[in-house]
């Protein structure tokens, strides 16, 4: 999910008929999604999802070609915030099927306040997920860097007959002299001495 800019968020509204389109578009505008595009079916929505960058997927089920819960689950699996609107009598059953995927289900009719609150909850949870993903990526990069440095130290110990402290100082000094990172030096060492091991 993108962070909506000053102009607001971009929503994809999946709605089978035209009858309630103006009300849905007004609701989206009033709740911070002035850029709403409509898909008339699940198939059309899937094509638009591939070609666009969306802040919200709103599905008014049922759709002409499917109910809409599979579309909701598929989109949520791609990291998109999804609101699935169903008739009130179906809410409990549908919500039970899609909640684990991160899809928020609203029973119709609902008020503007309820919709705004649901959209806000999705935005907040998406921001938290994005932060956790960024932290996870940084940790994976750090672990990979430590693995490369450790491998390079082992090669320095083996081929240059340094002790572990000497190998550490070698990496530090080379990084300072070449004005680069220890990881870059480690990669050079692995490329040079690792090739020797394979011969």
1 band by pLDDT with thresholds 50, 70 and 90: very low
pLDDT digits (tens, 9 = 90+) for 48-67: 999 878 999 999 999 999 99
**Please, how many CA atoms are within 13 Å of residue 18, restricted to the half-sphere of its CB?**
0
Read off the pLDDT of residues 109-161 as tens digits, 9 standing for 90 and up.
999 899 989 888 887 877 777 788 889 999 999 999 999 999 999 999 999 99
The pTM for the full model equals 0.68
Q: What is the pLDDT of residues 68-124, one digit of tens each?
A: 999 999 999 988 999 999 999 999 999 999 999 999 999 999 998 999 898 888 878
Task: Tabulate helix, strand, coil % of the chain (nearest 5).
Answer: 60, 15, 25
- Which residue carries 């599905």 as its tokens? 59
Secondary structure (H, E, C), 32-47: CCCEEEEECCHHHHHH
């Amino acid at each position: 999910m993108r962070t909506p800019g000053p102009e607001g968020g971009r929503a994809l509204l999946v709605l089978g008929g035209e009858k309630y389109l103006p009300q849905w578009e007004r609701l989206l505008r009033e709740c911070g999604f002035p850029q709403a595009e409509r898909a008339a079916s699940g198939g059309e929505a899937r094509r638009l999802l591939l070609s666009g960058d969306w802040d919200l997927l709103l599905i008014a089920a049922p759709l002409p070609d499917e109910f809409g819960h599979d579309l909701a689950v598929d989109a949520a699996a791609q990291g998109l915030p999804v609101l699935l609107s169903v008739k009130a009598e179906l809410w409990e059953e549908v919500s039970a099927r899609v909640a684990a995927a991160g899809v928020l289900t609203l029973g119709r009719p609902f008020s503007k306040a309820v919709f705004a609150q649901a959209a806000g909850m999705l935005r907040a949870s998406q921001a938290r997920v994005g932060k956790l993903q960024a932290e996870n990526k940084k940790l994976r990069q750090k672990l990979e860097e430590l693995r490369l440095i450790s491998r390079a130290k082992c090669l320095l110990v083996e081929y240059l007959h340094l002790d572990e402290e000497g190998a550490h100082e070698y990496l530090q000094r080379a990084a300072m002299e070449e004005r680069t990172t220890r990881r870059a030096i480690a990669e050079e060492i692995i490329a040079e001495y690792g090739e020797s091991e394979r011969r």
